Structure 1
Amino acid sequence: MTTSSSPRVALITGGSGGIGRAVAERLARDGFAVAVHYAGNRERAESVVAAITAAGGTAIAVRGDVAEEAEMAAAFAATTEALGGIDVVVNTAGIMTLGPLADFDLDALDRMHRTNIRGTFIVDQHAARTVREGGAIINFSTSITRLALPGYAAYAASKGAVEALTLVLARELRGRDITVNAVAPGPTATELFLNGKDEATIAGMAKAAPLERLGTPADIAEQVAFLAGPARWVNGQVLYVNGGIA
């Protein structure tokens, strides 16, 4: 375990943009040393690192394709070597492709499942092996698994698998004092969500929640901070963070 003089360490996959960036910056404000993972855009990851260090925090950038076991082994090893260990893993990395099931491109299905299912599985494997006692593993699902909106079948299926992995892993880590949960955002104003949607669609989804707005990355990061820190009695759960839409 970390000592009182050592910061806790968090590795955030997909930490270079959108929700991942918000999570990295929030955990850094909470005192974590942060490894900002990226797949291809090093410049964007380094900008997150620069923002964190400018605010007085500690951060590094680590690279890897979440669906490539050797690359993620290297990312976990680099984090441990640079920051002294890993206490929290937040797996925000994911892709979303939409379309009706009857016409959905199977190559697109395979690409999405490679990142969202295989990638989560590999990240969780390494997290299960390396996260220290008292730590947390936080996966990302989606409220679409409950909303069941047309066009989201392939994406919802991939995230349903993430939820299953999460619930089983929580039980497999019995006795380790490591919590395993998933955060399931609703419509959130990120590039991933907004891409390809017209203004009317976005406005309609914003009105769907009783709070009558889209979520923000900061809204989601707040819940991750809860699971990464004080929520030691929340385990094996899917936390729906969507303003009451579902």
Structure 2
Amino acid sequence: MPDRLRPVTVITGAAGGIGTALARLLAPAHDLILTGRDAARLDALCAEVGGRPLRLDLTRPETFAAAVEGLERVTNVVHNAGVVELGPVAEQGHEVWTRTLAVNTVAPAELTRHLLPLVRAERGTLVFVNSGAGLAAHAGWGSYAASKFALRALAEALRAEEAGRGVRVGSVYPGRTATPMQASVRAQEGGTYSPDAYIDPQSVAAAIRFMLDSPRDADITDLTVRPGPRP
């Protein structure tokens, strides 16, 4: 496929479970620009899938403009990166709230702002990887759920603003998925982590690819992915 016809897709959080699965799934047909906190894992993934690393500190959205300045094409953006720190509202200080909202909400908004002219030029798609916590908040999940509720609002407002320019905006809401983040969550909950009990990251990646590749006459705005029945 000629380079100009291949979609260029940015994936944040590519060094994690869903991001890595998605990069591997898209690699045969997409040119990939990948971000991730673990530099060694990100570099190894880029070498594996032929991707380009993009160094971003998601806690410092003010640095994004310089980081993306040289990009010439972007067709799709998948906002997949996220952090979660559990705890009751009465005990979590503003540092947790500030960090969580910066990575989970402010960073996607700011990165979208800088990449949107390129996405508009290609009539591309933005996908926000949200969470079940973006649909319902539970005890101990206040800061994370607040960031994901805000991410949902960001996606909905952006969809209404960009529809006339041919840009598609979707949100995917995975349930508990077998990723390093889920292992951290289970540790915070004081429980055991059993990957077989959760959604395979490849299944979530397949749902995201479906949103990216769906025909233009169908706009898939929200997609919920839940663990399937177990034998």
Alignment TM-score, normalising by the size of structure 1 = 0.82
Question: Following the alignment from structure 1 to structure 2, what is the Cα–Cα distance between the partners of residues 222 and 150?
Answer: 31
Partner of 2:208: 224
C-alpha contact 1:35 1:79 (8 A) present in aligned 2:
no
Structure 2 counterpart of 1:24: 23
Shift of 1:200: 8.2
- Amino acid in the other structure paired with 1:115: V
Amino acid across the alignment from 1:20:
G
- Mark the CA change 1:74 to 1:23 in structure 2 (over 3 Å): closer, same or farther: farther
What's the counterpart of residue 76 of structure 1? 68
| 2: CA distance, partners of 1:79 / 1:186 | 33
Provide the rounded CA distance (Å) in 1 between the counterparts of 2:118 and 2:42.
23
CA drift of 1:151 comes to 1.1
Kindly indicate whether residue 50 of structure 2 is the aligned counterpart of residue 50 of structure 1.
no
Unaligned runs of 5+ in 1: 54-58, 207-211
Count of paired positions: 226
Give the superposition deviation at 1:183.
1.2
**Aligned partner letter, 1:187:** R
Q: Pick from 166, 170, 192: which aligns with 2:159?
A: 170
* 1:183 counterpart residue number: 172
Contact 1:13 1:93 in 2 (8 A): yes
In structure 2, the CA distance between the partners of 1:11 and 1:99, relative to structure 1 (3 Å rule), is same
CA 1:126/1:147 → structure 2, altered by over 3 Å: closer, same or farther?
Answer: same
Q: Which residue of 1 aligns with 2:8?
A: 9
Residue 37 (1) aligns with residue 22 (2): no
When residues 134 and 72 of structure 1 are mapped into structure 2, their CA distance, relative to the original with a 3 A threshold, is same
After TM superposition, the score normalised by the length of structure 2 is 0.87
Q: What is the alpha-carbon root mean square deviation over aligned residues?
A: 2.6
The 2-side partners of 1:79 and 1:35 are apart by: 10
CA contact (8 A) 1:66 1:122 kept: no
Runs of 4+ in 1 over 6 A off after TM superposition: none
CA distance in 2: counterparts of 1:202 and 1:187, whole angstroms: 13
Q: Is the 8 A contact 1:101 1:154 kept in 2?
A: yes
